[in-house]
Structure 1
Amino acid sequence: MNLSKKQAVFESEVLTRFELFNSLFMTLPFYQVKHTGTLLPFFTTHCERGVAEKLNPEAIIESFFGQYEQYVGESDRIDLLFRIIQYIERQVVLFDAVEDAAFKKTGRSDEAGLLDSVFAETETNKELRSKLVDKLSDFSLRLVLTAHPTQFYPGPVLAIMTDLIEALKKNDIHNIHLLLQQLGKTPFMKKDKPTPVDEAVSLAWFLENVFYRVASAIQSKIDDEFDLPVDENKSLVELGFWPGGDRDGNPNVTVESTKRVALLLRTVLFRCYYRDFGTLKRRITFKGVEKYMDVLQDLIYENSFNPPENPENVKSVIIHNLKEIKRVLADYHDGLFVELVDDLLRKVRIFGCFFATLDLRQDSSILRKTHAYLREKYAGKLGEASDFEQLDERGKQATMKFEEYDLPVGDDAPPLVADTLEVIRHIGDIQRSGGERAAQRFIISNCQQASDILELMELFLWSGWQREALHIDFVPLFETVDDLHRAASVMEVLYTHAPYAAHLKRRGNKQTIMLGFSDSTKDGGYLMANWSIYKAKIELTAMAREYDVDLVFFDGRGGPPARGGGKTQRFYASMGKEIANDHIQLTIQGQTISSQYGSLDTAQYNIEQLLHAGITSHIEQRSGDTLSEENKKLFGYMAQVSHDQFLALRHDPLFLKYLERLSPLKFLSQINISSRPVKRNSDRELRLEDLRAISFVTSWSQLKQNIPGFYGVGTALEEAEKAGKWDQVKELYETSRMFQTIIDNCMMSMSKSNFELTSYIQHDEVFGDFWKKMRDEFERTTKYVLKLSGSKVLMQNYPVERESIAMREKIVLPLLIIQHYAIRKLQAGGLDEKESEVFSKLITRTIYGVVNAGRNLA
């Protein structure tokens, strides 16, 4: 389907249908909704006109209310603003549903990049077919669901969306009408902050309703196409899970929440099995299967509805009985309904008794404190150097003995230290009930040196774990630009460290390394972050190959391009020969979970895109994907120019003040969507290094300035042109899919920016020049990315996405005006406590709708 036709289909199937059902929504018989629905189009038009005239939010709001006599009173005005927010929140849900329902019709799902296309390409080429089979035998994709605080829709709303999508596909007007009524009456807001277990329950909805079915369907497609050997401990699509295990900067995650989440995952999985087994039981009513069916009935029922506190790993028992049923069907009943058995058997092989691998994560500083606590408490027994903390890296490594102990946790242990030691012990219980894959990784955040990993390994050995049975992968997380620069040297120390090398050998010589996009962007800007990660991957791959280590990169990606999001599959398709790409692992977080994996169609499409990217990068790499030394120098040069430009902005004394005063940054902590604090070290005054990357990026996106996703790119391209390198830059863009994706994702960030919205700030005595500096870089970047891509408008080559973004920005413009109006009212002062509370609530309510509409803004 060509670009113009795609755009036409999108307009008819999405935009027109949205307007149709939105008009239906306006007439629903809710209290005062009809009146709000009548006023909203006028309010939206008024906001658009006010922004075009560069009016400030107060002028826009006040002039609108001046047209209506009934809104003289402040309470009436505030009431209408809240009703407008409620209405727009539901408009966003409706647009999401209409767009997802039309997913297969709008041309995205027929793009190259799905498994069927690679099957077709290799069908007549035996050499390529052989390469594909080899790749599939060792390849895997792991999607790790995280609990980062940008998942806004509660479970009931997600369920309504799912049903609404299906009704829209069938054009079932009656059900659509009923579901819109249900949507109008269903609360979007949570009264209380969620606990880590609450977050796990929310994300388990996607495991149960989407991933359970899609992962199995994709594995079935592979099984039908190829006769690959069955590996009970491996699957093509793997799932990971962070809620309840990720304790980095979140004191609310405890060993108790880890226990509860592990049991929750198992229970939800067995309920999925129980539903499938019910279908099996209705169909397989033949002689010879009774005893096997009875065993499965008792086993699955018990684990679904009356799970024991310390359950056993019964995967092999389930598989044995299913295989026996299959044997009886083949031998005596003509294989009748064997496909139902195969379906459940496939799911049990994929998900076992754990559903998703529960990752553990903690900051290196906490792990060091825990190591120090045990060293001091058991100094006589351990015999480690008393001056351990004063030793250099080499000295620390030399004094570590890696001996096995079972040291009890003392009552005097600080809470985070006690939690670390208790959860290290509990991982063994999780593995006993779910198998090794239930919890096999411990991620060390802010990993700066080899001793950070080695100390954690000693903590396990001091907590009752045996060296030969240490079924744990220690995963360093390198996040900042500096950490990324020294990552390879840290790993070389580990590969040459005898006790760690021996452990690695027992783990199949496979090392997982996590790389964080978010903090590196906050630290060094968009272009430098991408360059640093690319360069680190090359260096880490070279180091791993030198020591014959099978390297797996685990990418910590957020939703927006500034946090590693955007067209993610194109990054993996463009990895050249210098970068290990045998396995793809990445985090899926925030509203990206619901936007890309919230329905069966979108989930299957996005998973197949990632699988296709990993497979084809192996069997048919393009020459431009491996950068020449000249192109690396060029990329590095532009990254440094961009980095300098970004740091000049970041070090401006107004930088943090601007965010604190004009964005809703300080209100992010008031929205009840996450158990995790907005910033680290919450007991002290805000510092940029303490601010979480999610909050940092979200604040800029609410301002519609998206600084982390473009700032410095325009200057870098301009300087390259001045230096006579433009032709080389152009060639790099045309030949390197990786660099092209970086620029195209930058354009996505810019498409979600709107400096016109805040143009009134240019007249501000304090922040006027600062705003102009950012606006000028936006215009410079626009000029140069259009010139580089040969486009007339941003995202010209992605008309469907461009139209979608434009419509979403139109829907939420009133929310942004209300938000900035409320922020300015609070800044102006003179409000009593009750009034301040009302305006604060207005701000927090608008944040939800803006992020949900953007789909990858945080």
Structure 2
Amino acid sequence: MLGDQPLRRDIHLLGDLLGEVIREQAGVEGFELEEEVRRLSRTRRAGDATAEGKLRTLLEGLGPSELRVIARAFTIFFDLANLAEDRHRVRVLRAREQAAHPGPRPESLVEAFQRIRAAGVSPEAVRRLLQAFAIEPVFTAHPTEAKRRTVRGILGRIRAILAELDAPDRLPREREELLRRLRAELTTLWQTDLTRVRRPSVMDEVENGLSFFVRTLWSLTPRLYREFQAALQASYPEIPDPPPLFLRFGSWIGGDRDGNPRVTAEVTAQTLRRHRQVALSLHLQQARELFVALGVSTRQAPVSPALAQALADAEARWPAIRERLSALSPYEVYRRWISVIAWRLEQTLAWDPMSEPPPEGAYRSARELVEDLDRMWESLMAHRGARIAEGLLWDWRIQAQVFGFHIARLDVRQEARRHAEAIAELLAAAGIGVDFTRLPEEEQLALLTETLPRAGSIAAQANASPETAEVLAVFRLLRRAAAAYGPESLGPYIISMARGAADVLAVLWLMSAANDLSEPPAFLRVAPLFESIGTLREAPRILARILAWPLYRAHLKRQGDHQIVMVGYSDSTKDGGYLAAAWALYRAQAEIVRVARAYGVTLTFFHGRGGALGRGGGPAARSILGLPPDAVAGRLRMTEQGEVLAERYDDPHIAHRHLEQVIGATLLVSALPSPEPQEAWMEAMEQMSEAAYRAYRELLEAPGFLTYFEHATPIDGIEQLPIASRPPRRRPERRLEELRAIPWVFSWTQNRHLLPGWFGLGSGVEAFVRQAGPAGWQRLEEMHQRWPFFRAVLADAALALAKTDLGIARAYAELVPDPAAREAIWSRIEGEYYRTRRAILRITGLPDLLEDIPWLKRSIQVRNPYVDPLNFIQILLLRRWREQPEAEELREALWLTIQGVAAGLRTTG
């Protein structure tokens, strides 16, 4: 099996070349300073008790420019090391596949179908599963990607060079040329600003998100479909037909207005137009490439009469294409037909359906393009051209069906309070003398139902405030977009911080009010987002109430009785701590499934996961396999956020592996759902969850906690970090409740506490064992061995603990000016860390954290000596910057350390 020698070779090469660049760009003194910092940090980790004092004394004596050189050197080194690790991951995957041949590689689609067949699942059951099968990763612009797009571009070129260096037949002169290019890219990277000087606009974020589709997903998706079909037919030859479309993509970028005033109706309109432009441009590129490749002549193979007739009809209908076709051979019918398609795509690209009538020949929908491609497909298949069709046309047909003319479905999200405030304003302006926001829920539901048929006239009477006018403008835009671009261009309307059934009905009311409709249009799918411990506990009751309400149920019936429910991992963890949130999410999903089944409603859960371990992060496949029985049933929606986007989708090989694992895990958990957990396990989780929740809330509500958080973390620097258009707080109040979960987790990650990923678990376990007695540990061991959910909970917590470093964390704690508050909070954190560590090791039977994943344990150990200096520099800069908050040089150096620590830990928020 492939060892880690190639990885060490790459890191050594990149480190040596970076050293050359540092000598050139920062001078020998800068290089030697960085090397001395690195030496002291390594000896500190090796156990030298004096090294930390020497290191911190050295750093204290440096000015901002010298600290920036060191921070830049370590940050760039981590970016390069991450590339090398990703490259080695690709090597390992290929080596495993080669070793497994002719058998399937682990966690592949072939293996998933083989396991399903071996378990005795019938072809008819698989057919039913495939009819419902639907996976939709949804890209978001949540502010956790600290890298600039420019930097990502440089790193992408370096990644490509590393891949080229791997070629076994590389000539010496070719290697030298690659090294020359590598030095040039590294020099460019050193001379490039690693941090932004301004916040990106929303449209900057839209372009950033679309780059993943253009570079990776457009070409990767057809390959996944091809592999899926081959894997299915290998295990189930009784199902010869291709599976229905199951993989699509969504986006929040440009539609997520929850607390982000920069996402306006006009910005959402621009986003939809940009999605359309990118999709059409990619289709046009496919047409031009296929035109070159497909030179089949009717003198060698005939074409179908249907295709010949369609071509003749096109020439007769659109005289504008005759000149273009006159230059082509009359025998090359496929090229002539592709020319017609290309011309129609050009006409479509030049047209904005939101504001203009269609020009001659423009496609009204992607369905028309698919029909034109199918004419070619059927002709080739009927005239000995199956290999040509499958080799040259397959990809484009899949792309046309998956990406359409919209590339990704755009979700819209807004906070429930904003809807309620808008309705209250409109009702008051119409003389309906109640404060809608203060009514009990039953009265809100009754009032919304009674006034919905005249909501349009109510809104027309009002002189709406700018905030309410903007809410109405969004709903008007959605109706226009559905008519112009097709409902398939839009995802669900998501209600964040949903607390009751009235929050769902409010969306229908506002859509009717904005567009003067007697009932909301059928395309409007409403997805409540439950994201606090309280609302997750209440979610089954809330869903039952809304499904029982006649007005909403009639609306849902027009959508095939299909309901999307979103569950939030980030805010629930911020609200109640790691274990309580994990259990609240699991229990809510299990009970919501029963509610939906009772009402005859099909359900899709939308998982609002973040990248960090305190926000539902961790391996996606493991998380899917740990979901409750029947909570997936072939349908899965999940967010892909922040740094996860670049980590999972920048490299096509890693993107393929990630999506393959997600698809395979969804198949397995749907076809072979785990059995219902034992009642005793559920009771144990309930007891542990309650105790963990109490421990976590006691920490947050302890005197001095807010002081500790604001001083012992770099939250003030993170709030000013220009990494996203969205503000770090939902509302400007300086309350912990208004702070978003992302900067919360980001801050605790930077200072090496990582407590959102584990705090409370130890207290929960100890409380349960005290009550259960000696048999308690046996029960927990049994749960770990037999319950995928509990195993995933412990595995993610173990990883968070392994990345936690109490020595570095204690150094951050010294920034807290109040000694009493510092020691009181620190003692709680330190005590809970050791309780949680002991509990995990006792339950898993492992001698140390991550002992069962040695490569990951070693990766963390190898990285620590290089992350530590960045932490010490950050602590120093925080102290100086807080004394001189106007010092821009200090602030920018601080931002650089934040980015460096994120790269070193491979996680942000």
Normalised to the residue count of structure 1, the TM-score between the two structures is 0.91
Shift of the 328–542 alpha-carbon distance from structure 1 to 2, 3 Å rule, reads: closer
Residue 721 of structure 1 aligns to a residue whose secondary structure is helix
Partner of 2:710: 660
- 1:22 paired to 2:70: no
Q: Which amino acid aligns with 1:649?
A: L
Cα displacement string for residues 45-91 of structure 1 (whole angstroms, at most 9, x for unaligned residues) = 3245568678898973433576xxxxxxx6xx321211122222221
Cα displacement string for residues 155-176 of structure 1 (whole angstroms, at most 9, x for unaligned residues) = 2322333332232123154343
Once structures 1 and 2 are overlaid, which stretch shifts more, 550-559 or 775-784?
775-784
- 1:463 paired to 2:514: yes
Partner of 2:836: 781
Once structures 1 and 2 are overlaid, which stretch shifts more, 51-60 or 844-853?
51-60
Separation in 1 of the partners of 2:812 and 2:520? 63
Partner of 1:644: 694
- 1:629 paired to 2:659: no
Separation in 2 of the partners of 1:195 and 1:410? 35
Cα displacement string for residues 590-632 of structure 1 (whole angstroms, at most 9, x for unaligned residues) = 1011112221111111111111111111222344xx2111110
Residue 585 of structure 1 aligns to a residue whose secondary structure is strand
Cα displacement string for residues 192-251 of structure 1 (whole angstroms, at most 9, x for unaligned residues) = 2111111111111112112222222211222344457578xx631121111110000111
Cα displacement string for residues 812-834 of structure 1 (whole angstroms, at most 9, x for unaligned residues) = 2221111011112345x3x5x66
Residue 141 of structure 2 aligns to a residue whose secondary structure is coil
Residue 508 of structure 1 aligns to a residue whose secondary structure is coil
Partner of 1:189: 195
Q: CA deviation at 1:552?
A: 0.9
1:792 to 832, 847, 870: 847
Whether the aligned pair in 2 keeps the contact of 1:662 and 1:823 (CA below 8 Å) is: no
Q: Which amino acid aligns with 2:562?
A: K
Partner of 2:168: none
Residue 298 of structure 1 aligns to a residue whose secondary structure is helix
- 1:164 paired to 2:158: yes
Q: Which amino acid aligns with 1:249?
A: G
2:91 to 105, 110, 115: 105
1:845 to 871, 874, 896: 896
Whether the aligned pair in 2 keeps the contact of 1:363 and 1:444 (CA below 8 Å) is: yes
Separation in 2 of the partners of 1:404 and 1:583? 37
Cα displacement string for residues 283-312 of structure 1 (whole angstroms, at most 9, x for unaligned residues) = 123422355323321233345577676477
Separation in 1 of the partners of 2:396 and 2:859? 38
Matches within 5 A, 1:140-539: 140-171=134-165, 173-174=178-179, 175-224=181-230, 225-226=232-233, 235-285=245-295, 286=297, 287-304=332-349, 310=355, 313-331=364-382, 334-335=385-386, 337-339=388-390, 340-379=392-431, 386=434, 388-399=436-447, 400-401=449-450, 402-403=452-453, 406-407=456-457, 412-464=463-515, 465=517, 467=519, 469-539=521-591
Whether the aligned pair in 1 keeps the contact of 2:695 and 2:763 (CA below 8 Å) is: yes
Normalised to the residue count of structure 2, the TM-score between the two structures is 0.86
Q: CA deviation at 1:642?
A: 0.9
Cα displacement string for residues 636-660 of structure 1 (whole angstroms, at most 9, x for unaligned residues) = 1011111111111111122111111
Q: CA deviation at 1:437?
A: 1.9
Partner of 1:71: none
Whether the aligned pair in 2 keeps the contact of 1:132 and 1:615 (CA below 8 Å) is: no
Whether the aligned pair in 2 keeps the contact of 1:268 and 1:304 (CA below 8 Å) is: no
Q: Which amino acid aligns with 2:645?
A: I
Q: CA deviation at 1:511?
A: 0.5
Separation in 1 of the partners of 2:241 and 2:264? 40
Shift of the 325–666 alpha-carbon distance from structure 1 to 2, 3 Å rule, reads: same
Separation in 2 of the partners of 1:240 and 1:376? 37
Q: CA deviation at 1:331?
A: 4.9
Question: Rg: which structure is higher?
Answer: 2
Q: CA deviation at 1:752?
A: 1.4
Whether the aligned pair in 2 keeps the contact of 1:56 and 1:758 (CA below 8 Å) is: no
- 1:589 paired to 2:660: no
Q: Which amino acid aligns with 2:254?
A: G
Whether the aligned pair in 1 keeps the contact of 2:256 and 2:411 (CA below 8 Å) is: yes
Separation in 1 of the partners of 2:864 and 2:124? 47
Residue 113 of structure 1 aligns to a residue whose secondary structure is coil
Q: Which runs of 5+ in 2 are unaligned?
A: 98-104, 166-174, 234-238, 298-331, 357-362
Once structures 1 and 2 are overlaid, which stretch shifts more, 561-570 or 168-177?
168-177
Shift of the 271–515 alpha-carbon distance from structure 1 to 2, 3 Å rule, reads: same
Residue 895 of structure 2 aligns to a residue whose secondary structure is helix
Whether the aligned pair in 2 keeps the contact of 1:664 and 1:699 (CA below 8 Å) is: yes
Separation in 1 of the partners of 2:85 and 2:573? 31
Shift of the 330–154 alpha-carbon distance from structure 1 to 2, 3 Å rule, reads: same
Q: Which amino acid aligns with 1:789?
A: T
Separation in 2 of the partners of 1:390 and 1:65? 56
Separation in 2 of the partners of 1:530 and 1:253? 31
Shift of the 235–410 alpha-carbon distance from structure 1 to 2, 3 Å rule, reads: farther
Separation in 2 of the partners of 1:58 and 1:824? 17
Separation in 2 of the partners of 1:318 and 1:598? 29
Separation in 1 of the partners of 2:401 and 2:6? 39
Once structures 1 and 2 are overlaid, which stretch shifts more, 263-272 or 638-647?
263-272
Q: CA deviation at 1:747?
A: 0.8
Partner of 1:703: 751
Partner of 1:69: none
Cα displacement string for residues 13-33 of structure 1 (whole angstroms, at most 9, x for unaligned residues) = 323421232112211374216
Q: CA deviation at 1:124?
A: 7.0
Separation in 2 of the partners of 1:437 and 1:306? 18
Shift of the 245–56 alpha-carbon distance from structure 1 to 2, 3 Å rule, reads: farther
Whether the aligned pair in 2 keeps the contact of 1:248 and 1:363 (CA below 8 Å) is: yes
Separation in 2 of the partners of 1:736 and 1:205? 39
Whether the aligned pair in 2 keeps the contact of 1:565 and 1:856 (CA below 8 Å) is: no
Whether the aligned pair in 2 keeps the contact of 1:680 and 1:692 (CA below 8 Å) is: yes
Separation in 2 of the partners of 1:33 and 1:330? 66
Q: CA deviation at 1:112?
A: 2.6
Shift of the 761–697 alpha-carbon distance from structure 1 to 2, 3 Å rule, reads: closer
Residue 728 of structure 1 aligns to a residue whose secondary structure is helix
Once structures 1 and 2 are overlaid, which stretch shifts more, 250-259 or 769-778?
769-778
Aligned residues: 828
Q: Which amino acid aligns with 2:266?
A: E
Identity of aligned residues (%): 24
2:670 to 611, 618, 621: 618
Partner of 1:70: none
Q: Which amino acid aligns with 1:147?
A: A
Once structures 1 and 2 are overlaid, which stretch shifts more, 808-817 or 434-443?
808-817
Separation in 2 of the partners of 1:411 and 1:207? 43
- 1:541 paired to 2:527: no
Q: CA deviation at 1:705?
A: 0.4
Whether the aligned pair in 1 keeps the contact of 2:586 and 2:628 (CA below 8 Å) is: no
Separation in 1 of the partners of 2:183 and 2:151? 15
Residue 91 of structure 2 aligns to a residue whose secondary structure is coil
Separation in 2 of the partners of 1:484 and 1:539? 10
Once structures 1 and 2 are overlaid, which stretch shifts more, 419-428 or 613-622?
613-622
Once structures 1 and 2 are overlaid, which stretch shifts more, 693-702 or 131-140?
131-140
Q: Which amino acid aligns with 1:188?
A: L
Q: Which runs of 5+ in 1 are unaligned?
A: 67-73
Partner of 2:57: 62
Q: Which amino acid aligns with 1:628?
A: Q
How large is the Cα RMSD of the aligned pairs? 2.7
Partner of 1:739: 790
Q: CA deviation at 1:811?
A: 2.8
